[in-house]
Every structure is written in structure tokens, then in C-alpha cells.
């Protein structure tokens, strides 16, 4: 049997895992490796990519910086989350604010140290990225539209550094990145509607707070329309392999979400839309290998 002290320690570990959103970081890491293998470095094998020490350091520095970013974001949103997410907030509060700050600074230091083993450019990049996350959490998050745009840019930045590492900046990559950016941006707009009560209480100047839910819904509809047009362009202009079925499905879900959006009146409705967008983003990550399904089929054939 575990003692009370041991149980409390385990609960605090779960609390810290909740704060840093370890599951999100895992998805990002998987996405970076899949993007490297099937989009950015198609001439390399998985083993070459996985055992590339510099690339591993880049991924690790990104993961640690993102974890620190979630902590500082949680730190500034503690009061708002107590209103919007009371159950999760109670779990997060098992770790004190002082401990969160200590872990935040430690993780940022670790990220920069890891980056120093890559290059001075990597140190500058991650230092700027860390500052950008802090500035967003401290100031920009409360500014309508600017906060949403900044959040979406910071979310795709870890993929940008992978593009730079492999020196692959083909136009198709920017189209894929634009689609991902729009999905994340739409999710951020929906989160503003979902968190309206807490934002009002804490005086966050979001679009729904300043201009109302109708304006916010119109902006989401516009962003969703652009995202659908991007998928049409992507399928028409580039070879997307079997991933085209993902783009068809994501377009159907985006259009369906708009219809749901205009019927949405409660937090549970917005939470449903949030989860739909999250599903589209996560399923997109695991659909990346479909861009080059022949590689997978050849390996399966070889094994058999």
C-alpha cells in the first residue's frame, strides 16, 4: 500500500502532466517525425531520421520549450480556468504556482542548453520562441484577433524549424502549413466562445467579449471557408496520394461544424466543435504517411 505522502506525490505528477499537456506534446513530436519522413526528407529512411542526433536534439528542445509554454500559459490563466474548467483546474492546483514557475524556468534553460549542442542559430531561435510564448501569455492573449493569430503562429512554429533543418521550403509545404494554421486558428476562435464566461469575469478582451457571438461566428465561418478552399487547391495542384481522402473528410467536417456553430448556444455545443477540430488536427497527423503510401506498402511486401 502506498503511503499518503506517496499518493500525493503521484497526484502531483499527474497534475504537472495535465499542466504541460503531455498528450499534446506527444502528438506534436509524432507529427514532426512523420512530416520529416513523408514530406521533408523523403529520400531518407526512418532509421536515418530517428538516429539523427541533431534532429533528435531539435525535437527534444521543441518539446521542452512547448511544455514550458503550457506551464506559463496555465500560470496566467489560473483564475480564468477556475471558472471555465473547474475540475481540471482543481487537479492543476495540486502543484503550487511557485513550483510551476520553478519548473517553467528550468525547462526553458534545458531547452536552450539542448539547442546549444545544435548551433548558435538554434539557441537564438529557441530563445526567441520562449520569449514569444511568454509575451503571448502575458500580454497578447488578451488582445482580440492578435492573440488568436499569435497562438496559431506559435503552434506551427515547431514545424517551421523542421522545415529549416531539412532546407525544404517547397510551395506544397507552405500550403500544408497554411491549412494547419487555419485549423488551429479556427480552434482558437471556438475556444474563445467556449471560455466566454471566464473571459468576461477576468476582463479578457476577446472577439466574443467585445463584438459578440454573432461576429465571432462570422469570423469562424470565413476562416473555415478559406480552409476548405485551401484543401481544394491542395488536391487540385499537388499529388496528395491517399491523403486526399483525409482532405475530403476534413472539408466535410469543417462544413458540418459551421452548421453546428450557428445552432450552438451553450458551452457544451462549443466544446463539441472544439473536439471536432481537435479530431481533424490529430487525424491529419496520423494521415501524413498516406502522402507516400507506396513506401509503406513496399516495406510490408518486403517483410511478407
Question: 63 and 125: one domain?
Answer: yes
Residue 136 in this model has a pLDDT that exceeds 90: yes
Report pTM: 0.87
Mean pLDDT of 87-97: 68
Residue 182's pLDDT band, with cuts at 50, 70 and 90, is very high
The tally of domains found in the chain comes to: 2
The residue among 125, 140, 168 that closes a domain is 168
The reply to whether 58 falls in a domain is yes
Q: Which domain holds residue 75?
A: 14-168
Residue 210: predicted pLDDT:
87
Q: Which grid cell sits at 300?
A: 510490408
The residue among 145, 168, 191 that closes a domain is 168
Residue 10: predicted pLDDT:
72
Residue 253 in this model has a pLDDT that exceeds 90: yes
Amino acid at each position: 500500500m502506498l503511503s499518503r505522502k506517496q499518493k500525493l506525490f503521484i497526484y502531483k505528477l499527474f497534475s504537472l502532466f495535465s499542466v504541460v499537456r503531455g498528450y499534446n506534446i506527444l502528438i506534436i513530436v509524432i507529427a514532426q517525425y512523420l512530416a520529416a519522413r513523408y514530406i521533408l526528407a523523403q529520400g531518407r529512411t526512418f532509421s536515418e531520421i530517428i538516429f539523427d542526433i541533431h534532429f533528435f536534439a531539435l525535437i527534444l528542445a521543441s518539446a521542452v520549450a512547448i511544455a514550458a509554454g503550457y506551464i506559463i500559459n496555465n500560470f496566467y490563466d489560473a483564475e480564468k480556468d477556475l471558472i471555465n474548467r473547474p475540475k481540471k483546474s482543481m487537479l492543476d492546483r495540486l502543484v503550487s504556482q511557485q513550483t510551476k514557475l520553478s519548473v517553467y524556468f528550468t525547462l526553458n534553460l534545458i531547452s536552450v542548453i539542448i539547442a546549444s549542442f545544435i548551433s548558435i542559430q538554434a539557441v537564438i531561435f529557441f530563445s526567441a520562441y520562449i520569449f514569444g510564448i511568454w509575451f503571448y501569455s502575458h500580454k497578447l492573449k488578451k488582445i482580440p484577433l492578435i492573440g488568436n493569430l499569435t497562438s496559431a503562429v506559435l503552434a506551427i512554429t515547431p514545424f517551421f524549424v523542421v522545415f529549416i533543418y531539412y532546407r525544404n521550403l517547397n510551395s506544397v509545404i507552405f500550403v500544408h502549413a497554411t491549412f494547419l494554421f487555419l485549423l488551429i486558428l479556427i480552434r482558437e476562435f471556438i475556444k474563445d466562445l467556449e471560455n466566454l464566461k471566464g473571459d468576461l469575469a477576468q476582463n479578457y478582451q476577446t472577439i466574443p467579449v467585445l463584438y459578440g457571438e454573432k461576429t465571432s461566428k462570422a469570423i469562424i465561418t470565413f476562416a473555415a471557408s478559406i480552409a476548405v478552399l485551401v484543401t481544394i487547391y491542395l488536391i487540385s495542384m499537388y499529388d496528395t496520394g491517399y491523403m486526399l481522402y483525409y482532405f475530403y473528410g476534413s472539408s466535410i467536417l469543417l462544413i458540418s461544424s459551421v452548421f453546428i456553430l450557428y445552432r450552438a448556444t451553450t458551452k457544451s455545443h462549443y466544446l463539441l466543435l472544439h473536439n471536432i477540430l481537435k479530431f481533424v488536427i490529430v487525424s491529419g497527423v496520423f494521415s501524413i504517411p498516406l502522402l507516400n503510401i507506396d513506401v509503406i506498402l513496399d516495406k510490408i511486401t518486403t517483410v511478407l
